[in-house]
Amino acid sequence: MWIAVVPAKNEQNTISRVMDSLARAQTGHAIVVANGCTDRTCEAVRTSAAKTAGKMAVTIINFTQSLGIDVPRAVGAAYAKRLAGCGVLFVDGDMKGDIVHVLDGLKRGIEGGLDMALTDCYPQARQQSRLAQSVLQERARLNRRLGVFNELGFASPSHGPLALSPALLEALPPEVIAIPPLALAFAVFHDYAVGVAASIPHRLLGSTVRSDEHASLIAETIIADCYHALSYAGGEALENVLAEKNTGGGYRSARRFDLLAKFLQALRHLDAY
């Protein structure tokens, strides 16, 4: 059974199409992590779940407070560990484009031996904006430092759907999953197989167009994440890197690792009974 983790923040207008893509890709269980939603995202998920009853199980984990960027991935991953899956897909709740072929490619990548299967969202990197170029430059710097640029190019777990094998899912610390470039560095450092298994131009993902300020903050977040991943790749102890997990630019300071810790504690309590 394939499992999907779907972070969603106020995606009532897009989440149904995402759920449809997951069902068409023969996903067995979708875990939607509602990230401080103030709209009808959860209702839209329930409506979609009714349509796929018997084909795709759906679990909604609803946080009334915002978890911040990427922390919902860690929440969903922790829940997914409790299920018997052959791999886990990560798909944002606003990716309303036709991505079934991407999901199928990621699944084939894991089934073919990859532990982290990535999507190349910039097959024509030279045609991007100056802001995007600055982010791609940092991704490339990290991938080169890790010795995987020939395999990955500009691909990164920070952008686009991705998939993890059960082995890597089990090995990745939850806090590391919430810092995608660090998760990549962890995988490479521990000799897990990483590679690009799908390709789609960013614009075809169908992601919601947000403000210029948001785009700038996202860029700052990814660049700071890459910087910390580079520290780990350079020999810095993981615990020291994680000690600075809320420092740096962009949205890093808004990541609610405290809420993640409470959720993990609640899961351990449930598993004890």
What is residue 126's predicted lDDT score, i.e. its pLDDT?
59
Domains of the chain: 2-271 (3.90.550.10)
Q: Kindly give the confidence (pLDDT) of every residue in the chain, 273 residues in length, as a single tens digit, with 9 standing for 90 and above.
A: 999 999 999 999 999 999 999 999 999 999 999 999 999 999 999 999 999 888 999 999 999 999 999 999 999 999 999 998 999 999 999 999 999 999 999 999 999 999 999 999 987 755 667 888 899 999 999 999 999 999 999 999 999 999 999 999 999 999 999 999 999 999 999 999 999 999 999 899 988 777 889 889 999 999 999 999 999 999 999 999 999 999 999 999 999 999 999 999 999 877 766
Decide if 257 contacts 175 (C-beta within 8 A): yes
Residue labelled with tokens 């977040």: 221
The DSSP code for 248 is: S
Decide if 165 contacts 190 (C-beta within 8 A): no
What is residue 87's predicted lDDT score, i.e. its pLDDT?
97
Decide if 28 contacts 85 (C-beta within 8 A): yes
pTM of the entire structure? 0.95
Q: Single out the residue of 250, 252, 181 nearest to residue 214, CA to CA.
A: 250
Decide if 162 contacts 224 (C-beta within 8 A): no
Tokens standing for 72?
């919902």
What is residue 120's predicted lDDT score, i.e. its pLDDT?
95
